[in-house]
Amino acid sequence: MILAEAKRVVRVEADALLNLEASLNGEFTRAVEMILGATGRVVVTGMGKSGLIGAKIASTMASTGTPAFFLHPAEGIHGDLGMIMRGDVVIAISNSGETDELVRILPIVKRLGASLIAMAGNPASTLAKSGDVFLDISVKEEACPLGLAPTASTTVTLAMGDALAVALLVSRGFKAEDFAMFHPGGTLGRRLLLKVEDMMHTGDSLPLVASETLMREALFTITSKGLGITGVTAADGTLIGVITDGDLRRALGRGLDIINLPASALMQGKPKRILRDELAARALQQMEKYSITSLFVFGDATSETPVGIVHLHDLLKAGIA
Give the model confidence (pLDDT) of 166-203 as tens digits: 999 999 988 766 666 665 555 565 666 788 998 899 99
Q: Which of 1, 16, 93 is nearest to 52 (CA)?
A: 93
Q: Are 117 and 36 in contact (CB under 8 A)?
A: no
- Over the Cα atoms of the chain, what is R_g? 30
Q: Tell me what pLDDT residue 29 has.
A: 97
- Of the CATH numbers 1.10.3720.10, 3.40.50.1970, 3.10.580.10, 3.40.50.300, which one belongs to the domain with range 196-317? 3.10.580.10
* Helices of type H across 173-293: 176-181, 186-193, 196-199, 215-225, 245-253, 263-266, 280-290
Angle at the Cα of 176 from the Cα atoms of 173 and 180, rounded to 5 degrees: 120
- Distance of alpha carbon 52 from alpha carbon 117, whole angstroms: 17
Domain spans of the chain?
A: 2-174, 196-317
Q: Are 264 and 241 in contact (CB under 8 A)?
A: yes
Residues 306-321 pLDDT 10s = 999 999 998 888 777 6
In percent, the amount of the chain with pLDDT more than 70 equals 94
pLDDT band of 208, cuts 50, 70, 90: very high
Pairing of strands 239-244, 268-269: antiparallel
Q: Are 143 and 156 in contact (CB under 8 A)?
A: no
59-80 average pLDDT score: 91
84-110 average pLDDT score: 95
Q: Are 96 and 121 in contact (CB under 8 A)?
A: yes
- Of the CATH numbers 3.40.50.10490, 3.30.70.890, 3.40.50.970, 3.40.50.300, which one belongs to the domain with range 2-174? 3.40.50.10490
- Distance of alpha carbon 207 from alpha carbon 224, whole angstroms: 9
